Amino acid sequence: MNLHKTHNSISSFTAKCRLQQSRFRESINEPMGVGPWKTSKNLQISMIKDGEVTGKNFVDRYTFDYAKMRVRKKLKNETIDEYRLFNNLLSSQPMAFNLFCPLRHMLEERMNDAVTLIFSTIFPQFDIAYVTEIELEYLHEDIENYLNDKTAMDAIVRFFDSQNNSCFIAIETKYTDVLGSNSARNKESQKKLIRQLKYFKPEAELALINDEKEISQIYRNFLLSECYRIKENAYECYSLVLSPANHPTTDAEVHSLQDELLPEYQYKIGSITLEQFVETVIEQCPKANVEPFLWFGKRYLENI
pLDDT along the chain (304 residues), means of 10: 61 97 98 95 97 98 98 89 97 98 98 98 98 93 76 94 98 91 73 96 97 92 95 96 96 96 98 98 98 98 92
The pLDDT value given to residue 145: 74
Query: How remote is the C-alpha of 298 from its chain's centroid?
Result: 19
Quick one: DSSP state of residue 246? Answer: T
Which runs of E-coded beta strand occur in the chain? Answer: 33-34, 43-44, 130-138, 153-160, 166-173, 236-243, 269-273
Using alpha carbons only, what angle is made at residue 65 by residues 37 and 48, rounded to the nearest 5 degrees? 30
pLDDT given at position 187: 87
pLDDT for position 38 = 94
The answer to whether the peptide bond before residue 36 is cis (omega within 30 degrees of 0) is yes
The whole-number pLDDT of residue 4 equals: 45
Which residues contact residue 285 at a Cβ distance below 8 angstroms, ignoring those fewer than 6 apart? 114, 118, 293
Distance CA 302, CA 292 (A): 15
Do residues 88 and 36 make contact, with C-beta atoms less than 8 angstroms apart? yes
- Could you tell me which residues come within 8 angstroms of residue 108 by beta carbon, excluding any fewer than 6 positions away? none
Compute and round to an integer the Cα radius of gyration of the chain: 19
Residues written for the chain: 304
Separation between Cα atoms, residue 178 and residue 228, nearest integer Å? 24
Angle between helices 217-231 and 250-258 (to 10 degrees): 60
In single-letter form, the type of residue at position 166 comes to S
Q: Give this prediction's pTM.
A: 0.94
Contact yes or no for 61/46 (Cβ under 8 A): no
Cα–Cα nearest to 249, from 178, 172, 174, 303: 178
**DSSP secondary structure code for residue 111 in this structure:** -
| 126: nearest Cα among 227, 218, 232, 239 | 239
Compute the C-alpha angle 150/156/161, nearest 5°: 140
pLDDT at 184: 58
